[in-house]
């Protein structure tokens, strides 16, 4: 199973494709260079397969690569960052 995480700015979300099928997404709002994650969904066919974690890891890696920060309003993203402290430095506090 191959998967690919892509930013879809037209829909304000990161999407994960598994074997060319949309398996899930994490929606966001942009506040300058801060990405506010608001909601994450994984298609039922792909749940409990690590797809959600791969999606968030890919999204956070892309935000880091472009020098951005994140606000994890989505509980799934917040839990992922809690379990993976290597991403804690990306968390920003909005004024």
By DSSP bridging, strand 69-72 and strand 34-42 are parallel
Residue pair 35/68 in contact (Cβ under 8 Å)? The answer is: yes
Q: Is residue 34 part of a domain?
A: yes
The predicted model scores a pTM of 0.93
With respect to residue 73, please indicate whether it lies within any of the assigned structural domains: yes
Helix H, strand E, coil C: the string for 1-21 is CCEEEEEEHHHCEEEEEECCE
Q: For residue 1, what pLDDT is reported? A: 53
CATH number, domain of 79, equals 3.40.630.30
Task: State the pLDDT at residue 51.
Answer: 95
Classify each residue of 45-66 as buried b or exposed e, where b means 16 or more C-beta atoms within 10 Å of its C-beta. ebeeeebbebbbbbbbeebeee
Domain that residue 84 falls in: 3-89
- Span 15-51, pLDDT tens digits: 999 988 999 999 999 999 999 999 999 999 999 999 9
Binned at pLDDT 50, 70 and 90, residue 93 comes out as confident
Domain count, the chain: 1
Across 69-79, average pLDDT: 97
The reply to whether 60 falls in a domain is: yes
In tens, the pLDDT along 7-17 reads 999 999 999 99
Q: What is the pLDDT of residue 95?
A: 65
Q: Say if 74 falls within a structural domain.
A: yes
């Amino acid at each position: 199973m191959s998967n690919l995480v892509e930013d879809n700015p037209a829909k304000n979300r990161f999407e994960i494709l598994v074997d060319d099928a949309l398996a899930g997404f994490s929606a966001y709002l942009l506040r300058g260079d801060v990405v506010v994650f608001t909601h994450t969904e994984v298609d039922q066919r792909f749940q409990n397969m690590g797809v959600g974690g791969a999606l968030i890891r890919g999204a956070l890696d892309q935000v880091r690569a472009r020098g951005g920060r994140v606000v994890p309003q989505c509980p799934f993203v917040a839990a992922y960052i809690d379990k993976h402290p290597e991403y804690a430095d990306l968390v920003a506090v909005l004024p």
